[in-house]
Amino acid sequence: KAGVTQTPRYLIKTRGQQVTLSCSPISGHRSVSWYQQTPGQGLQFLFEYFSETQRNKGNFPGRFSGRQFSNSRSEMNVSTLELGDSALYLCASSRQGAYEQYFGPGTRLTVT
Amino acid sequence: SQELEQSPQSLIVQEGKNLTINCTSSKTLYGLYWYKQKYGEGLIFLMMLQKGGEEKSHEKITAKLDEKKQQSSLHITASQPSHAGIYLCGADGYRGSNYKLTFGKGTLLTVNP
C-alpha cells in the first residue's frame, strides 16, 4: 500500500506570494490533517478534513486555508506569505475510527 | 490549551546503553502517541497508549502511561544507531479528537557507535 504523498517536497517563495501544497492520503483513508513544524514552535496542528468538510481547526490566521476533494486528496493554501511561514508542512491521514495517523514526508517551504 | 513538555530536550548515548524520554501533559491525557522523526522528514508512528498503567512494547522500545501523573515515558533498551532521531509525544486534546494532536517539542536522540 502506498504511503501518504506530498507534493512538492521543496518550495521557495517570495514574501507576499501565495502557495498551494498537495497531500494524497493512503488509499481508504478519509481523514487528512495538516501540521506546521518550525524549530521554534515545534509541530502545530493546522486543520483536519474528513469527507470534504473541515472538522477541526488550529490557531492559525485566515491566510492558511485548505480543502479536501471527493477522492480524499487535500490541498492547503497559504496566501500573502510571510518570512515566518517558512516551515516543514506535514500532512497525515487516518482511517475512520483508527487512532494512528500516518504522516507524509512533508513539504519544506522557504519564504525569502 | 493542552501543553506537552518533553525531557530531556536532547540526549547523547553510547550504543548499547538504555535511555528514557519523558512526556508530561498539562491536562488530562485521553490518548498519548509516540512518534519518531528523522530530521526534516515525516513522522513514524511508534505506539499509542490510552489507559492508565498501560504499557506497550515494539522491539526494544517500551512506552508506559501514568494517567494520574499525566505522564508517559519511552524507554529504549540496548540502544542502536538506528534509534537515532527525534522522538515526539502527541496527545488528544479531548476524547475523540485523535485527528487533532498537540505535540511536545521533541527529544533529539544521538546514539554513538
| Interface check B42 vs A, CB under 8 A | yes
Work out the average pLDDT over A77-98.
93
| Interface check B34 vs A, CB under 8 A | no
DSSP B39: T
Tally A–B CB contacts below 8 A. Answer: 58
pLDDT in tens, B28-66: 877 899 999 998 788 999 999 987 788 999 889 999 998
Give Dmax (Cα) for chain A. 41
- Asked whether the beta carbons of residue B48 and residue A99 sit closer than 8 angstroms, the reply is yes
- Asked whether the beta carbons of residue B105 and residue A101 sit closer than 8 angstroms, the reply is no
Look at residue B96 and tell me whether its pLDDT is greater than 60.
Answer: no
pLDDT at B98: 54
pLDDT at B31: 82
Among A12, A6, A8, residue whose Cα is nearest residue A109 = A12
Work out the average pLDDT over A76-88.
97
Q: Which three cell numbers stand for residue B38?
A: 528523522
Q: Which three cell numbers stand for residue A110?
A: 522557504
Look at residue B95 and tell me whether its pLDDT is greater than 70.
Answer: no
Name the residue with cell 506535514: A90
DSSP B9: S
CA atoms of A51 and A54, how far apart (whole Å): 8
- Beta bridge partners, A102, equal A93
Name the residue with cell 485527528: B99
Work out the average pLDDT over B71-84.
96
Residue A96 contacts residue A28 (beta carbons within 8 Å):
no
pLDDT in tens, B40-49: 788 999 999 9
Which one is predicted more confidently, B53 or A49?
Answer: A49
Q: What is the mean pLDDT of chain B?
A: 89
